[in-house]
Amino acid sequence: MGQHSCCNKQKVKRGLWSPEEDEKLKNYISTYGHGSWSSLPRFAGLQRCGKSCRLRWINYLRPDLKKGNFSSEETELIIELQRILGNRWAQIAKHLPGRTDNEVKNFWNSAIKKKHISQNLFDQAPFSNLSRSNSNFPQYSEFNQVYIPTQPPSPVQGIDFGEFKADQLSHSAIMLTTSPSSAPACPLGYLPQFIDRQQQILRPEDYSIVSSDQYPFFATNKLLDQNPSTMLPVLPKVLESIAGSSNFPSERLYANDMLASSDDIEYIKPIMPACSTLSSSSMSQTSSASSFSLSQLPCSGTMFVNPSLPPRWVP
């Protein structure tokens, strides 16, 4: 590895900056300004190359830097700007006062990128534009590496959800929604579901309540069924179902990181059979977990989930 031209004239230190070095750099720049970065280290008495000094100042010592986590507004802005500008981090950072390109880039690579991949999978799914144009479709913001809805869809507004512990669920939940065969315009459901890894809490905004024009049910996936006690974030899944199909799931099941085959169907089963208003026929079908038909589910309704009550299906 060759050294940069500004660093090869003298022996320079590398690696993390010590507090003493920070102090020297800060004092020098606050007194004289940075001037020429290449000559700064010599005048400031630092055994660093100018490039390293510049980076340290811009990314860490600058007084106008904003410290702390990115807000949801900043996150949304980064996602939007990245979509428009691509990986032009310096350009993106200019729209975020007090944030550096390096910080934005790191944030993207660590926190947003993974979610974006799963979001892209969702975007690629057929008919996804229909769901996204639906006013009931949840909005998303960043939370610990997964997209989550920030507000429940309109049918459940006004209901006090509060928090409830993930372990109150018999399984970690993924909710898959699909359309009735009689509603060909709404063939796609989407589930944003998430369990906070740190707090082990399923937050009220983390589960999705479907609106009246969709069929809801809750399901576990294969992996969680194998390790039901393991609290893992449940990544978004998209169920693709062809309009007019009466059997579920007749087509493919997409997960963020895998394309499940129809062999996985047996692992998809409802976890909340206590949905008391489901008809007994559909209950027995769904509880058996092997297969069931959309036509056996109620035609329309809303699933209410409340920490103090059993899940409730309101036709």
Partner DNA sequence: AAGTTCGCCAACCGCACGGGC
Partner DNA sequence: CGCCCGTGCGGTTGGCGAACT
Q: Which residues are near DNA by CB under 7 A?
A: 1-7, 13-17, 35-39, 50-52, 54-56, 59-60, 87-91, 101-103, 105-107, 109-111, 145, 197-198
Separation in Å, CA 125 to CA 79, 187, 244, 257: 20, 11, 17, 14
Whole-number Å distance between alpha carbons of 163 and 160: 10
Considering beta carbons, is residue 38 or 141 the nearer one to DNA?
38
> Nearest distance from residue 252's CB to DNA, in Å?
26
Q: What pairs with residue 142 in β-bridges? A: 147
> Which is closer to DNA, CB of 24 or CB of 56?
56
Q: How far is the CB of 245 from DNA (least distance, A)?
A: 36
State residue 116 phi and psi, 5-degree precision.
Answer: -65, -35
In the complex, least distance from residue 107 CB atom to DNA, rounded to whole angstroms: 6
Shortest distance (Å) from residue 86 CB to DNA: 8
For residue 237, list its beta bridge partners. Answer: 191, 255
Tokens 């179902």 -> residue = 241
d(CA 219, CA 197): 20
**Closer to DNA by Cβ: residue 38 or 300:** 38
Rounded to 5 degrees, φ, ψ at 260 are -75, 145
Least spacing, CB of residue 178 vs DNA, in Å: 30
The residue among 13 and 222 lying less far from DNA, judged by its C-beta, is 13
Which C-beta is closer to DNA: that of 106 or that of 295? 106
Considering the complex, state which of residue 102 and residue 300 has its C-beta at the smaller distance from DNA: 102
Question: What residues contact 256, with CB distance under 8 A and at least 6 apart?
Answer: 117, 118, 121, 235, 236, 237
Closer residue to DNA, CB minimum distance, 200 or 288: 200
CA distance 230 to 50: 49
Pick between residue 44 and residue 294 the one whose CB is nearest to DNA. 44
Q: CB 292 → DNA: shortest distance, Å?
A: 33
In the complex, what is the shortest distance from the CB of residue 87 to DNA, in angstroms, rounded to a whole number?
Answer: 4
As measured in angstroms, the least distance from the Cβ of 280 to DNA is 40
